[in-house]
Amino acid sequence: MATDELHSAGAPAGVAAAEEGEGEAAQGFSFSIWPPTQRTRDAVVRRLVDTLGGDTILCKRYGAVPAADAEPAARGIEAEAFDAAAASGEAAATASVEEGIKALQLYSKEVSRRLLDFVKSRSAAAKATAAAAAAAAAPSEGEAPAAPSESEVVDPQPAE
């Protein structure tokens, strides 16, 4: 027996076949970076939910999003970013690896931009609501303050 035959005889059938057709397998192997798998997209959504509701710089600056609101917002952000990246010229299904990388970079930038837009708009809306509530509670300049109710009137004479 030749050395190659001994090597092939001792190896499992799949390994021997792989070694013989190694050049063919390398040529037949390909991967696609775009579009991301559903598993990857779900991981992006989970990360967005963690970012929106967790202890992050965004939450400290713009306020945390309640868990009930974070999940649908994260799904919307991810879907819009995916659609924007898919609509670009780089995201064609038959794209090269380089074009797929560009599409993935665009997707990532869109997710980040839409996340920031969401928290900013939510923060601005919360501030506007708080300002409107404060304005409604405070009397305007031309109006006299409301008369105190009986429970608010304080007796100036101490009881003896």
d(CA 133, CA 79) in angstroms, rounded, equals 34
| Domain assignment of residue 115, given as a range | 34-128
Q: Does any domain span residue 147? A: no
Q: Does the reported pTM lie above 0.75?
A: no
Q: What is the share, in percent, of the chain residues with pLDDT greater than 90?
A: 43
- Summarize the confidence of residues 13-42 as an average pLDDT: 69
d(CA 156, CA 43) in angstroms, rounded, equals 66
Cis omega (within 30 of 0) for bond into 35: yes
Q: Give SS3 for 142.
A: coil
The CATH number for 101's domain is 1.10.246.200
Q: What is the mean pLDDT of the chain?
A: 77
Q: Does any domain span residue 94? A: yes
pLDDT of residue 132: 79
Residue written as token pair 């928290």: 119
Residue written as token pair 């076949």: 17
pLDDT of residue 32: 81
Which amino acid belongs to residue 105?
Q
Higher pLDDT, 64 or 3: 64
The pLDDT tens digits for 125-156 are: 888 887 777 777 766 555 555 555 555 555 55
Q: Does any domain span residue 92? A: yes
d(CA 115, CA 61) in angstroms, rounded, equals 13
Q: Is the pLDDT of residue 57 over 60?
A: yes
Q: How many domains in the chain?
A: 1
Which amino acid belongs to residue 95?
A
Q: Where are the alpha helices (DSSP H) in the chain?
A: 3-10, 13-20, 22-28, 38-53, 57-62, 67-87, 97-137
Tokens found for residue 87? 């609509």
